[in-house]
Amino acid sequence: MGYRRMDANGGRSGNNGPRVNEQIRIAQVRVVAEDGEQLGIMPTQEALATARAQGLDLVEIAAQAKPPVCKIIDYGKYKYHQQKKLSKQQSTKTQIKELRLRPKTGAGDVMIKVNKAREWLVKKDKVIVSILYRGRELAHLDEGMKVLDTVVRELDDVAKVEAAPKQMGKRLICTLAPK
């Protein structure tokens, strides 16, 4: 009798998901009914016959337990709920990114920043566009507003203005959210 290499999946190399029905090869299993009631330890064939009589599947829930725990459930419904749980865990949280510019920033440099902001907006992140003023630049607030208008106009296809431009000290700030 040869040895079988065990992997992280409890010996199921290349198989995703739990063992179902005839895939369960161990002699005895602990069986749990669909409503959560403990049916006890029984031979696998008997547990499989009980599941089939109810029109359901025998699904191995805890393979590492001694004996393994199997539940009598509808496997299609089980897979659906597992995928739903997984997608809920994988949903990304929206981040807020900041794009900092100056009133005298050149057109080419502004476009580079706009392209970066476009990447963030496509990834569903919000973008705060900040125009920073220093010294005498505060006397020419309209120059910063022109730069901000350019950014908003370039990102119009992927973003909407969430918070209108407003002056906060030495900054002009506008928030963009993905469409």
Q: Is the model's pLDDT at 74 over the cut of 70?
A: yes
Confidence at residue 19, expressed as pLDDT on a 0 to 100 scale:
85
Sign of CA dihedral 151, 153, 157, 162: positive
Hey, what amino acid is at 111? M
Residue 112 has pLDDT above 70, yes or no: yes
> Greater confidence, 87 or 170?
170
Rounded Cα–Cα distance for residues 2 and 136 (Å)? 83
pLDDT at 6: 42
**pTM attached to this predicted model:** 0.51
- Taking 80 as the threshold, does the pLDDT of residue 102 lie above it? yes
Answer for the pair 124, 158: CB distance below 8 angstroms, yes or no. Answer: no
Which pLDDT tens digit goes with each residue over 45-59? 998 998 898 889 888
H-run or E-run covering 101? strand 96-101
CB 51 within 8 A of CB 57: yes
Q: Average of pLDDT values for 69-94?
A: 82
pLDDT of 139 higher than 50? yes
